[in-house]
Structure 1
Amino acid sequence: MRTVIAELCQNHNGDLTLLKEMVWAAAESGATYAKIQSMLADDLTTRERFEEGRWENGVQVAIKRPYLSEYNRLKPMDLDDDAHYLFAEECVKAGIKPLTTIFSRSRIPFISSLGWDAIKVASYDCASYPMIEELKEQFSHLYISTGATFDHEIEKTSNILKGHSFSLLHCVTIYPTPMNELNLARLDYLKQFTQSVGFSDHSLVSRDGIKASVAAMAYGADVVERHFTILPPDQTRDGPVSINSEQLAELVNFAKMSNEDLLDYVVREIPEFDTMIGKVQRQLSHEEELNRDYYRGRFASKVGDEVIYNWQDRPVF
């Protein structure tokens, strides 16, 4: 079966009882991994240009995301060390593998101490080479999203990981992602670096269901990551791009199909398939560039009075 990652993200709303219920729901739906996000509000960085946003000659050049409001939004959803232990224990009970995305290098010692075999790297850290080097030493497999990342950055990260086990996940950092912006042909580009390629799906569930993920698998993805929720979509920030238990189970069933049967289904049942393929080479959209500008450097390691970004080759532990 292909690998299916149920991305719990912050759909737990900081409620650990809900988090445990999500783990069981993901396991019962047949997902390979239940994944959390190891971000801490205290690692959030203050950057002046995002306090009010910036415009130049009528063109937006920085989004508005004030530090204090973002900190106050994130803080109640922090998963501390004890929450990670609870999550790991619940995954063992439910029979599903635990996984997390790490957002600051200072968290690597703790996360690696949990003994998990794999780690997820977000798109905006695909080019954080010191972080990649450190994770390579601690985890047997890396899942790395490549959204809003330039080709030379993907190539350098792949060279760092040469001889190591890793998967590159195509991702479009437009939330939600329209079908005509998926550019699944990017999977062909990623295959030159690793045999394991995948797709991190941010399409709108109410409009597109699981079409994009199924199409990606038919095109060659052997890993699919999808936001997952057990709440109504209006009760969490990521709800609109998150699938429910029934949809996750359906996705898992597709993940078990042979390549031939899956492609036959997609050609027959998903008329948008040709539109989804797009181009191997593409320019980042203005929205993707704005998101890259904000999210790359959103979190950092704070060592004394210093803020050390994930791409800076300076010691943090």
Structure 2
Amino acid sequence: MTTLIAEFCQNHKGDRGALREMIAAAHEAGATHAKIQTAFADDLVKRDRFEEGITDEHGVVQVIKRPYGAEYARLRPMDLTMDDYAWFVDECQRVGIRPLTTIFTRGRVKDMVALGWKEVKVASFDGASLPLIRSLAQHFSHLFISTGTCYDWEVERTAQALGIHSFSFLHCVSIYPTPLAEAHLNRMRWLRRFTPSVGFSDHTLVARDGIKASLAALAMGADVIERHFTILPPEETKDGPVSIGPKELKELAAFAKLPIHARHAEARRMIPEFTAMLGSETRPLSHAEMLNRDYYRGRFASRDAQGAVVWNWDENVSLPGEPGAA
């Protein structure tokens, strides 16, 4: 059975009523998982180089501009409470859809453990953050790990660190939105060297490309599809333009039920860009992806007892409850 993850991101605007409607709509449309993000504005880290960004003498952006104050002000109203997270797990279980969350910092793992999550997601920018990944593997039965901005050696190292623990590797392209020609769906073949469960996290522009990339990924044998999901008009949220609604999700769910040979034939028939989306199994990250890796890797972090920043990848510091902590 294909895993279909409806990623709510911040499309709920921090409102429990909206979350309730989204859970019901995702379940009715055929999603197997409803996903929110364990990310808090107070975990945002101010890093000086992103306050103004850097553009070189040729006009090429070398560091993106994303000022801390504006980002904090945008995120803070959408923060969920711990009661909201507990309610979300219970509501998903009541409706009959599996609850899932992306945990963005090591310090929040302990808060989530007691709430009943069985599976969790690791964001693309933390696909090589071994202290975070080890901590998650200690507490949760299955990890979905996006690999979009990971180097090949980082993917291999993460797979080795997880050993026999149950995990899925998801291919994604960290360009928002992702052009179809940059989808590189053949990457899933390379990821399958490390785990039998692979998939695609789709960031394409819905108004222009619909669900073509997700359909093509299913035709290529994806076991998991993650897609941003909304019940609002796309212009109402930051992630709205790359988010599908119940109608598109229902189409994805129906397509996923077809035999693999039928999916492949149908995708080739319906999608003129199918071949262009296949791309390469391995390739260097593009300039746009490197810019996003630079910003998003370390966007959120934990703090130790003295208030010092603890990065998700820092092997020299253990937080209470982590493997190897005193």
For residue 190 of structure 1, report the CA deviation from its aligned partner.
Answer: 0.2
Q: Distance in 2 between matches of 1:61 and 1:112?
A: 39
Aligned to 1:65: 66
> Secondary structure of the equivalent of 1:98?
strand
Aligned to 1:181: 182
For residue 56 of structure 1, report the CA deviation from its aligned partner.
Answer: 2.7
Greater mean deviation of Cα atoms: 185-194 or 112-121: 112-121
Aligned to 2:314: 312
The one-letter code sitting in structure 2 at the alignment partner of 1:115 is: G
Aligned to 2:13: 13
Aligned to 1:107: 108
Deviations 1:13-61 (A, max 9, x none): 1111111110111011110000000000000001000000012333321
Aligned to 2:31: 31
Deviations 1:240-290 (A, max 9, x none): 000001111111111111101101101111111100001112111111000
Q: TM-score, normalised by structure 1?
A: 0.98
Aligned to 1:2: 2
Aligned to 2:257: 256
Q: Distance in 2 between matches of 1:292 and 1:12?
A: 25
Q: Distance in 1 between matches of 2:293 and 2:249?
A: 29
Is the 2:89–2:116 contact (alpha carbons within 8 Å) kept by the matching residues of 1? no
Aligned to 1:224: 225
* 1:120-199 alignment runs, 5 A limit: 120-199=121-200
The one-letter code sitting in structure 2 at the alignment partner of 1:237 is: K
Q: Distance in 2 between matches of 1:311 and 1:200?
A: 22
Q: Distance in 1 between matches of 2:89 and 2:139?
A: 17
Q: Distance in 2 between matches of 1:279 and 1:312?
A: 31
The answer as to 2:284 corresponding to 1:283 is yes
Q: Distance in 2 between matches of 1:268 and 1:301?
A: 48
Is the 2:229–2:244 contact (alpha carbons within 8 Å) kept by the matching residues of 1? yes
The one-letter code sitting in structure 1 at the alignment partner of 2:164 is: G
For residue 148 of structure 1, report the CA deviation from its aligned partner.
Answer: 1.1
For residue 115 of structure 1, report the CA deviation from its aligned partner.
Answer: 2.2
Q: Distance in 2 between matches of 1:239 and 1:195?
A: 32
Greater mean deviation of Cα atoms: 57-66 or 211-220: 57-66
Over aligned residues, Cα RMSD in angstroms?
A: 0.8
The one-letter code sitting in structure 1 at the alignment partner of 2:48 is: E
Deviating beyond 3 angstroms after TM superposition, the runs of 4 or more aligned structure 1 residues are none
Q: Distance in 1 between matches of 2:129 and 2:164?
A: 19
> Secondary structure of the equivalent of 1:207?
helix
Q: Distance in 1 between matches of 2:127 and 2:281?
A: 19
Q: Distance in 2 between matches of 1:20 and 1:228?
A: 13
The one-letter code sitting in structure 2 at the alignment partner of 1:312 is: D
> Secondary structure of the equivalent of 2:157?
helix
Q: Distance in 2 between matches of 1:76 and 1:178?
A: 31
Q: Distance in 2 between matches of 1:278 and 1:17?
A: 41
> Secondary structure of the equivalent of 1:253?
helix
Aligned to 1:41: 41
Deviations 1:77-123 (A, max 9, x none): 01120110121121122110000000000010111111221110000
> Secondary structure of the equivalent of 2:170?
strand
> Secondary structure of the equivalent of 1:298?
coil
The one-letter code sitting in structure 1 at the alignment partner of 2:319 is: V
Q: Distance in 1 between matches of 2:259 and 2:112?
A: 35
The answer as to 2:240 corresponding to 1:233 is no
> Secondary structure of the equivalent of 1:203?
coil
Q: TM-score, normalised by structure 2?
A: 0.96
> Secondary structure of the equivalent of 1:221?
coil
Deviations 1:168-210 (A, max 9, x none): 0000000000010000010111010000000000001011111
Q: Distance in 1 between matches of 2:89 and 2:307?
A: 33
Structure 1 stretches lacking a partner, 5+ long: none
Q: Distance in 2 between matches of 1:11 and 1:97?
A: 19
